[in-house]
Amino acid sequence: MSILYAIIVGAIIGWVAGKLMKGGGFGFLINMIVGIIGGVVGNLIFDYLNIRIGSGFFADLITGVIGALVFLFIISLFKKA
């Protein structure tokens, strides 16, 4: 069940981050990958800063979207170079 949860939440996170950063999504598979990476990055950032926003689906979404935005921003820095 946790893998299915990660896929579903990752896809939603990637889609939201894609809309916020570029104005469009990247397709289901790439959105899912970006979302899962974003969840990991978001958790690392929040743990490093010692920030707790709660638990559950919406907390996972917020953390993941912030992490995905950071991830996409870093990727865009390399893309422009």
Q: Could you tell me which residues come within 8 angstroms of residue 45 by beta carbon, excluding any fewer than 6 positions away?
A: 66, 67, 70
The proportion of the chain whose per-residue pLDDT surpasses 70, expressed as a percent, equals: 90
C-alpha distances in Å from residue 50, one per residue of 19, 34, 41, 47, 66: 28, 23, 14, 5, 15
pLDDT at 19 over 80: yes
- Rounded to whole angstroms, the maximal C-alpha distance in the chain is 40
pLDDT digits (tens, 9 = 90+) for 49-73: 999 888 888 998 999 999 989 988 8
> For 23-27, what is the mean pLDDT?
62
Mean pLDDT value across the chain: 84
Interhelix angle 2-22/57-80, nearest 10 degrees: 50
* Residue ranges covered by each domain of the chain: 2-80
pLDDT band at 2 (very low <50, low <70, confident <90, very high): confident
Query: Residue type for 17, please?
Result: A
pLDDT at 24 over 80: no
